[in-house]
Structure 1
């Protein structure tokens, strides 16, 4: 599965794109990414108790927001592309 990181998240992962081992859903993927890349990424990806997605993150699967697919329990396929963006404010 392909995972793409955007904006300052690239600083946390030291990469823009990675072929990451397949995970069956967004919950398992965010947990695995947190284990691989550390607490700074985890703090953005997940709520403090780890039960839901963080409020400062947008995750797309093949261009579709997980909010419209099943949230943290969105199922994944090995061929999926997951894009992870921080929420950006501005004017």
Structure 2
């Protein structure tokens, strides 16, 4: 599966795009990515207890927001493209 990182998340991961081993759902993917890339990513990607997505992250699977796919328990397939963005605020 392909993972795309945007904005400052690229600094945390050291890459824009990576081919990542298939994970069954967003929960497993988020934890695997945080294990690989560290605590800075974990602090943005997951809630403090690790049971939900963080409030400062947007995840799209094939262009669809995970909130519409089952949230952190959204199922994945090996051909999915997962895009991970930080929430952007401003005006």
- Fold conserved between structures, TM > 0.5: yes
Q: What is the SS of the residue equivalent to 2:76?
A: coil
Instruction: Give the equivalent residue in structure 1 for 2:25.
Output: 25
Number of corresponding residues = 91
The aligned counterpart of 1:13 is: 13
Alignment of 1:47-86 (within 5 A): 47-86=47-86
Measure the CA separation in 2 of the matches of 1:90 and 1:53: 22
**Large movers: runs of 4+ above 2 Å:** none
Gaps of 5+ in 2: none
Structure 1: where are the runs of 5+ without partners?
A: none
- Measure how far apart 1:88 and its partner are: 0.5
For residues 86 and 2 of structure 1, the distance between their equivalents in structure 2, rounded to whole angstroms, comes to 18
TM-score by length of 1: 0.99
- Normalising by structure 2, report the TM-score: 0.99
Q: CA RMSD in A?
A: 0.3
Q: Report the Cα distance in structure 1 between the residues aligned to 2:82 and 2:19, rounded to whole angstroms.
A: 10
